Amino acid sequence: MFHKRYEKHVEDRQTRRAILSGIASTLGVSVLSPWSRVLEAAPATNVTKAKKVIYFNMGGAMSHIDTFDPKPDRPDIQGDVGVVKTKTPGVVFGEHMTNLAELQDKLAIVRSMTTETADHRKASYWLQTSYPVLNSIRHPSMGAWVSSEMGKINKSLPPYVLVNSGGNGHPGAGFLDPSLTPVPVADPEK
């Protein structure tokens, strides 16, 4: 049995459409014909203009307290690194993030990530796939899903790259097509 926090990710849940379609096929379509509008897929409501994402998963980098989640009101936690204000009132970054602080209104910073394990490899897998590590399946990374759904922007370039992974166990394409695996760049200086 999985921890309740993982439970929602373990199985792909049945959609309302699939459940109602199953009921319809069991009882007969004519009985549920007034429900046919309920079975229709809702149109996408939050279409965005964004076409590209730069995603940083900086394993082994500076602490969150020194970068994007400082605790200036908690000197027992904060340490020696100061803070810099961002464009959003009440949101501060570590003092070494001055350029990014100016762009904060254009960034999506996740400060709510928690894990039940101290194993960085397992936590990193969960962060990249939204699934716990299972021995029976390799889940696709976010890059693989986005590439699968959006397609390639440029046929001459890979859909995404993985810079200096350091053997972090990146899941790559998982169970999706192997062409959705990132191109590894071991040393960006070369």
Residues in the chain: 190
What pTM did the predictor assign? 0.56
Q: What is the pLDDT of residue 7?
A: 46
| DSSP states of 50-73 | ---------TTSS-GGGTTS--TT
| DSSP states of the chain | ---HHHHHHHSPPPPHHHHHHHHHHHH-GGGGGGGHHHHSPPPP--------------TTSS-GGGTTS--TT-HHHHTT--EEE-SSTT-EEEGGGHHHHHTGGG---------S---HHHHHHHHHHSS--BTTB-PPPHHHHHHHHH--S-TTS-S-EEE--TT----TTTTS-GGGSPEEES-TT-
pLDDT of the chain, 190 residues: tens digit per residue: 444 444 444 444 566 666 666 666 665 554 445 555 555 666 666 677 777 777 777 777 788 888 888 998 988 888 888 999 998 888 999 999 999 999 988 888 888 877 777 787 888 888 888 888 888 999 999 889 988 888 888 888 888 888 876 665 678 889 999 988 888 888 778 7
What angle (nearest 5°) sits at the alpha carbon of residue 126, between those of residues 19 and 102? 110
Place of tokens 């199985």: 11
